């Protein structure tokens, strides 16, 4: 893919990101942080691709496996912890009783 195409995607993502995230209320800023932690778990995709190019030697493999493990921690940990938090935010009609 050409650099210009990638830059186009990048610039558009910047604007979409600012647009969407500026609408997140203060109350949800912690879930936003842990949710975005989960989303940058997309490095897992990069790590999976890295394993393919790291078959040369042991060190390379170890580095890539650690990267996969890190990415997985991000993905599973991030989404789980965010879900736990957001579950607490759901409206509880009988909370005042």
Partner 1 sequence: MLVPAAFSLRDPQFIQACYIVAAVCFILGLRGLSHPSTARRGNMIAAVGMAIAVIATLLDRDVVGVPLILLGIAIGTAIGVPAARSVRMTAMPQMVALFNGVGGGAAALIAWTEFRDSIDAGGGFALDTEIAVLFSTVVGAVSFWGSIVAFAKLQELISGQPIMIRGQQVVNGVILAAVLGGCVYLAAAGDEQSVFVAILALASVLGVAMVLPIGGADMPVVISMLNAFTGLAAAAAGFALDNTALIVAGTLVGASGTILTRLMSQAMNRSLGNVLFAGFGSAPEGGGAAAVASGDGSFRSTTADDVAIQLAYARRVVVVPGYGMAVAQAQHAVRDLAAELEKRGVDVNYAIHPVAGRMPGHMNVLLAEADVPYDSLKEMDEINPEFPQTDVSLVIGANDVTNPAAKNSPDSPIYGMPILEVDKSSSVIVLKRSMNPGFAGIDNELYSDAKTAMLFGDAKDSIQKVLGEVQAL
Q: What residues from 27 to 46 belong to the interface with partner 1 (CB under 8 A)?
A: 27-46
- State the minimum distance, in angstroms, from the CB of residue 2 to partner 1: 9
Number of neighbouring beta carbons within 10 Å of residue 61: 13
Q: Is 1 in the site for partner 1 (CB under 8 A)?
A: yes
| Binding to partner 1, residues 66-85 (CB under 8 A) | 66-85
DSSP code at position 2: -
Distance CA 74, CA 80 (A): 10
Report in angstroms how near the CB of residue 8 gets to partner 1 at its nearest. 10
Residue 10 Cβ vs partner 1, minimum distance, rounded to whole Å: 6
47: burial class by Cβ within 10 Å (0-12, 13-18, 19+)? Answer: buried
Q: Count of residues binding partner 1 (CB under 8 A)?
A: 82
């Amino acid at each position: 893919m050409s650099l210009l195409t990638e830059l186009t995607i990048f610039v558009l993502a910047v604007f979409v990101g600012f647009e969407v995230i500026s609408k997140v209320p203060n109350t949800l800023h912690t879930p936003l942080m842990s949710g975005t932690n989960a989303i940058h778990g997309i490095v897992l995709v990069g790590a999976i691709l890295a394993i393919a190019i790291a078959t040369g030697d042991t060190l390379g493999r170890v580095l890539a496996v650690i990267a996969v493990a890190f990415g997985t921690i991000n993905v599973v940990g991030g989404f789980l912890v965010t879900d736990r938090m957001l579950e607490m935010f759901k409206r509880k009609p009988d909370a005042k009783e």
